[in-house]
Amino acid sequence: MSIKNYFLRLYIKFFHYYFVCEEEDLLFILSAGRSGSTLLQLKLEQTGEVTIMPETDSSFENAFFHYCKYFLFRSKYQLLKEVLLIFSKGKNWDAMQIDSNKFIESYWLKHDKLNFGNILYHLYSTYKEYLNPEAKYIGEKNPFLTFYLPYLILIFPQARFIHIIRDGRDVACSWNTSFKKYKNIDNAAKRWAFVTNLIQNLKPSFKNRLLEIKYEEFVINEQNTKSNLGNFLDISFDRKINLKNLKSSKKDLLHKHHHGVFEPNHTSSIEKWRKLNKVDLLKLNKLLQPQLKRYKYIE
């Protein structure tokens, strides 16, 4: 064995020991945001076989890099407390109904080592035990996680991923009007292009663990999309949890920009880009041409 291969194997073992979680019941919904991921979440959760964590925004990023910085220099007990503290300061922590002291106690009952993947999985499974212990899958749909997709693929090698795609021109319009987060529609469009390119480039890494669906097809032909989802996850859409009950248990979804997901599917959110002025539309078509062609939004 060459020295290069020896150190490569050593690095893989080292990374696996401190970061990798091999659990198979994990599901991540990927999107560029404003793409129908919340609608998808509710349809999946209505089956009773999937539970999705409340969005934590940048908590994963902050916790991951903190762990990377200190995992060799802190005691495992101290570092677990610090990582959990980062999550507890994040968005929607109260909606998770997680007691920090009980979480730490139960973690050490199940694990004898500190491992970042196991910390996240324990966070997910603790939420599942609170909301729906019978669920077959537990996971996240946080759009921010998509930017850290290369890490997720390595940390959770058995997890499944669903990428929901919406016309990038509609996504850019939605970001620009709903949040005013971007100074102009071009920047919102660039976010969509970046995310779709990232997922496209990483497709070989997913093997058979990625399913892509289009928002427009989901809205227009829901049954066909559900059939694809059912086959991919091996779940049934025959059972349907009452939407009012689900709504009462998902307080994190009661935001103004999510109001439409609790209503019957409608096509009013499709092709909103047609209302753009000619200058902005020409910009978007030029900027997003490769990606729009890839997903057959334009010829």
Query: Across residues 109-132, what is the average pLDDT?
Result: 95
pLDDT of residue 258: 47
pLDDT of residue 240: 72
pLDDT of residue 29: 98
Among 144, 141, 142, 109, CA closest to 126: 109
What is the percentage of the chain residues whose pLDDT exceeds 70? 90
Residue 75 in this model has a pLDDT that exceeds 50: yes
Exposed/middle/buried for 18, CB within 10 Å: 0-12, 13-18, 19+?
middle
pLDDT of residue 239: 76
How is 132-168 classified by DSSP, letter by letter? -TT-SEEEE--GGGGGGHHHHHHH-TT-EEEEEE--H
C-alpha 92/C-alpha 97 separation (Å) is 10
Query: Encoding tokens for residue 127?
Result: 């939420």
What is the percentage of the chain residues whose pLDDT exceeds 90? 74
pLDDT band at 133 (very low <50, low <70, confident <90, very high): very high
Per-residue pLDDT tens digits for 188-231: 999 999 999 999 999 999 999 999 999 999 999 999 999 999 99
Name which residue leads in pLDDT, 241 or 246. 241
Cα distances (angstroms) measured from residue 267 to each of 124, 131, 258, 270? 33, 31, 16, 5
Q: Do the Cβ atoms of 158 and 183 come closer than 8 Å?
A: no
Lateral strand order in the sheet of 26-30: 50-52, 137-140, 26-30, 160-165, 210-214
pLDDT of residue 181: 63
Residue 257 in this model has a pLDDT that exceeds 60: no
Q: Do the Cβ atoms of 163 and 210 come closer than 8 Å?
A: yes
Query: Across residues 242-257, what is the average pLDDT?
Result: 56
Residue 233 in this model has a pLDDT that exceeds 90: yes
Residue 260 in this model has a pLDDT that exceeds 80: no
